[in-house]
């Protein structure tokens, strides 16, 4: 297997939910989730990302979640919090905080809403890399940011030593293949359902939503492929696919995921506006998906 930068982030990273109780952070529940993932053998946790409802956390809450997760982990699992922003100054501030807190890296989404040019993307990430001494995992998700970081720009960024990996969430195997042909970043799937297809063109794992539910199964898929057992990896892919699909298609992430966790007794399902709970039909569909997978009786 070709050597790539950022191999320490290969495997299964779980995009961790942020538990709430009565509108406030539930740090006790958050710490329980960290312990559960350590027991499950999850490779890495990424709090305060999209799945962690970071857009609705204020700056103090964002930092409290990072600090709580790193403190609870105590070096037993890698922690790569989301520290991206559409403000370069804010991204630098958050990344510096993650570094001081003891995180292993930073997951940095492309600036959203203001839609920078490709040169603007390059200068944004380069400025954060220059200001902070922490490995950076780029995060390209045009469906959320409204703009794509093209492979040529990603290859330019790959020349910066501290930019080591990318969470590739364009849904395009062509784009992932293009990135792999241009640079040696570790490529991680940003879509659970595309983990195996992306690994087939050079990916090394996933930053996962459904890993909040079944991290061991995702690890089995990744390990099977890495070991050359493609038939076993394909079996896992086919088993996982309906669960991966429904966690993202029934409603916006993390609404279905928090619903699933509530149904499995692993959270209260509380979201923060503008995210809101599923109606009874949506919840019934999630329950049906969980039963079909074997997670509920």
Q: What is the DSSP string of 218-253?
A: HHHHHHHHHTT-HHHHHHHHHHHHHHHHHHHHSSST
Distance CA 203, CA 179 (A): 10
The yes-or-no verdict on residue 165 having pLDDT over 80 is yes
Q: How many domains are there within the chain?
A: 1
Mean of the per-residue pLDDT values of the chain: 96
In-domain check, residue 88 = yes
Residue 4: predicted pLDDT: 73
- Report the run of H or E that residue 21 belongs to, with start and end: strand 20-21
- Compute the average pLDDT of residues 140-158: 96
Give pTM, 2 decimals.
Answer: 0.96
Task: Compute how many other C-beta atoms are within 10 angstroms of the C-beta atom of residue 252.
Answer: 13
Q: Give residue-wise pLDDT tens across range 187-220.
A: 999 999 999 999 999 999 999 999 999 999 999 9
- Cβ–Cβ under 8 Å, residues 134 and 109: no
In this prediction, residue 2 has a pLDDT band, given cuts at 50, 70 and 90, of low
In-domain check, residue 270 = no
Distance CA 141, CA 162 (A): 21
Distance CA 107, CA 90 (A): 14
Distance CA 208, CA 146 (A): 21
Distance CA 66, CA 68 (A): 6
The pair phi, psi for residue 17, each rounded to 5°, is: -70, 160
Q: Give residue-wise pLDDT tens across range 61-115.
A: 999 999 999 999 999 999 999 999 999 999 999 999 999 999 999 999 999 999 9
The yes-or-no verdict on residue 255 having pLDDT over 60 is yes
Q: Give residue-wise pLDDT tens across range 39-51.
A: 999 999 999 999 9
- Compute the average pLDDT of residues 170-185: 96
Tokens 């997670």, located at residue: 295
Which are the catalytic amino acids? 139, 167
| Boundaries of domain holding 134 | 8-229
Residue 248: predicted pLDDT: 87
The yes-or-no verdict on residue 274 having pLDDT over 70 is yes
Task: Compute how many other C-beta atoms are within 10 angstroms of the C-beta atom of residue 14.
Answer: 27
Residue 297: predicted pLDDT: 85
Distance CA 108, CA 46 (A): 11
- Cβ–Cβ under 8 Å, residues 82 and 113: no
Residue 5: predicted pLDDT: 84
Tokens at 34, concatenated: 């960290």
- The CATH number assigned to the domain holding 127 equals 3.20.20.70
């Amino acid at each position: 297997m070709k050597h790539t930068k950022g191999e320490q982030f290969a495997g299964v990273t779980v995009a961790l939910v942020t538990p709430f109780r009565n509108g406030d952070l539930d740090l006790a529940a958050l710490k329980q989730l960290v312990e559960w993932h350590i027991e499950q053998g999850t490779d890495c946790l990424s709090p305060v990302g999209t799945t962690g409802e970071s857009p609705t956390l204020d700056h103090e809450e964002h930092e409290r979640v990072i600090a709580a997760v790193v403190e609870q982990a105590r070096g037993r699992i890698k922690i790569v919090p989301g520290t991206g922003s559409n403000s370069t100054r804010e991204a630098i501030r958050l990344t510096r905080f993650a570094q001081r807190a003891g995180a292993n890296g930073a997951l940095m989404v492309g600036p959203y809403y203001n839609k920078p040019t490709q040169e603007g993307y390059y200068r944004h990430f380069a400025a954060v890399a220059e200001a902070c001494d922490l490995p950076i995992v780029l995060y390209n998700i045009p469906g959320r940011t409204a703009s794509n970081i093209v492979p040529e720009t990603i290859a330019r960024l790959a020349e910066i030593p501290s930019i080591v990996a990318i969470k590739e969430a364009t849904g395009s195997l062509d784009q992932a293949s293009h990135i792999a042909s241009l640079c040696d970043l570790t490529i991680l799937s940003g879509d659970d359902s595309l983990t195996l297809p992306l690994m087939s063109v050079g990916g090394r794992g996933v930053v996962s939503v459904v890993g909040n539910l079944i991290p061991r199964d995702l690890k089995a898929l990744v390990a099977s492929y890495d070991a050359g057992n493609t038939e076993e990896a394909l079996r896992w892919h086919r088993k996982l696919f309906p669960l991966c699909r429904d966690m993202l298609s029934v409603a916006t992430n993390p609404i279905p995921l928090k619903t699933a966790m509530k149904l499995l007794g692993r959270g209260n399902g509380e979201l923060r506006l503008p995210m809101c709970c599923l109606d009874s039909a949506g919840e019934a569909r999630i329950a049906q998906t969980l039963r079909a997978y074997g997670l509920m009786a």
